[in-house]
Chain A
Amino acid sequence: MNNNATAEEFSIIRECVNGRVEKYALLVEKYKVMAFTVAYRMLGDTDTANDMAQESFVSAYVGLRDFKYNAKFSSWLYSIVLNKCRDHLRDRKEAVPVDDLAEYLPAKGPDPEQAASSQQTRDAVQKALDLLPEPYREVIILKHLEELGYEEIAEILGEKVIALKVRAHRGREMLKEHLENMGVVQ
């Protein structure tokens, strides 16, 4: 994002902090697809993704006062969305230790009732993503869907770049495995 766009965003944030609440709609409009996409790809369910994405914007707004103008609003929003998704998923399964796994354990996606009620035909990519452990899922989404650089991903996830690259490598391999098993990748 160029300097003008960043400056404009900071000015909008300042106005919101000063009480011009309605200006926040501009940020919501700008990032709603991003927030919703990330939440959906993490959770596999549109209704939950909608809730998480909306809640993320509300949380971001509440925390605007503490916004440090040396970071991007988008980075901050990404981390909020992912935190909310993590919290939500924690209710569904126990955390799986990641980097020392020799073999991976498939993560659970949404339970059958949720999947049935979401009425969303989940594409092959989503089915494959659902099978990735969350920490790998996060990196794959940020790297190959949102197409962020590792520095930014490191900032968002609070991890070192080297660890993220390992996760990306393994995540890609897993993704390839699953898609191949589904007969989707030639």
Chain B
Amino acid sequence: MNRDKDREAMHRMLDGDASPEEQKVLNERIEADPALKEEFIKLAGAVRMMKESKRPVPPPFFTAEVMGKLPRRGPSLVQRFRDLFSDSRVLRWNMSTAAATAGMVVIAIIVVVLLQREPQREPTITVKMSYSSPKAQSVAVAGNFNKWSADTHRMRKQSNGIWTIAIPLRAGTYTYQFVVDGRTWIVDPRAGIMQDDGFGSRNGVVRVNI
């Protein structure tokens, strides 16, 4: 028996190229030869492992990221300037008289420059919050400063059962609630200012002025 020929036949079978006749002959040979049989089982086993191997899952925002990377056809530069001219906000910034074309272009350029300037690093004020609940297992703050996530701003429990947190915030108006034990959303009982949240509850309001 020619081992190489047998091997060739096995591979042909794994390729799906073997005729029924060939398969029959090969199976007979495999049956008759334990060493060959073992080789075939291992070979077929290796292929089977490949077929059954886990297909890794792409990360959740794969498609969105691809779409974000596609080159886009945006408005032409001419169109952009035209948009600036017709923008009422530009006209409001425009000082007094209807300027000559050159003047308008200058203003348009200033507007473009101002709009593209990087925001300066802004100072913050640390806002302290507290909530009394000896029984709670966890308390977090969720608000418009952290996209209402109940995970990112967890409060710390003091020995007297009062939960506290200190959050640095830039100038602005912030709305928030506490989340107790990861599921109960409540308004801060100590909030001096509150606002309807649109869902029948209220959010606490903190205004930071710097």
* In the complex, A touching B (Cβ < 8 A): yes
Chain B residues positioned under 8 Å from A185 (CB to CB): 42, 45-46, 49
Q: Taking the complex as formed, is A168 at the interface, i.e. its CB lies under 8 A from any CB of chain B? A: yes
Q: Taking the complex as formed, is A13 at the interface, i.e. its CB lies under 8 A from any CB of chain B? A: no
Query: Number of A residues contacting the other chain (C-beta, 8 Å)?
Result: 46
The reply to whether A19 and B42 contact each other, CB–CB distance below 8 Å, is no
Q: How large is the interface on B (under 10, 10 to 19, 20 to 34, 35 or more residues)?
A: 20 to 34
A28/B62 contact (C-beta < 8 A), A21-B72, A145-B51 known: yes
Chain A residues positioned under 8 Å from B15 (CB to CB): 143, 150, 165, 168
The reply to whether A54 and B69 contact each other, CB–CB distance below 8 Å, is yes
Would you list which residues of chain B between 1 and 28 have a CB under 8 Å from chain A?
Answer: 8, 11, 14-15
The reply to whether B46 and A58 contact each other, CB–CB distance below 8 Å, is no
Task: Give B61 Cβ to nearest chain A Cβ, in Å.
Answer: 10
The reply to whether A184 and B49 contact each other, CB–CB distance below 8 Å, is yes
Q: Taking the complex as formed, is A82 at the interface, i.e. its CB lies under 8 A from any CB of chain B? A: no
The reply to whether B58 and A172 contact each other, CB–CB distance below 8 Å, is no
1/0 contact trace for A161-186 toward B, CB 8 Å? 00001001100110110011000111
1/0 contact trace for A12-35 toward B, CB 8 Å? 000000010110110011001101
The listed residue (B43, B45, B58) touching A50 by CB distance below 8 A is B58
The reply to whether B47 and A28 contact each other, CB–CB distance below 8 Å, is no
Chain B residues positioned under 8 Å from A24 (CB to CB): 67, 70
Q: Taking the complex as formed, is B71 at the interface, i.e. its CB lies under 8 A from any CB of chain A? A: yes
The answer for the CA separation of A21 and B72 in the assembled complex, in Å, is 8
The answer for the CA separation of A174 and B132 in the assembled complex, in Å, is 66
B residues with CB within 8 A of A: 8, 11, 14-15, 41-43, 45-47, 49-51, 53-59, 62-63, 65-67, 69-73
9 additional A-B pairs beyond A25-B66, A144-B51, A175-B46, beta carbons within 8 Å, are A22-B67, A24-B67, A46-B56, A49-B56, A61-B70, A145-B53, A168-B15, A176-B45, A186-B41
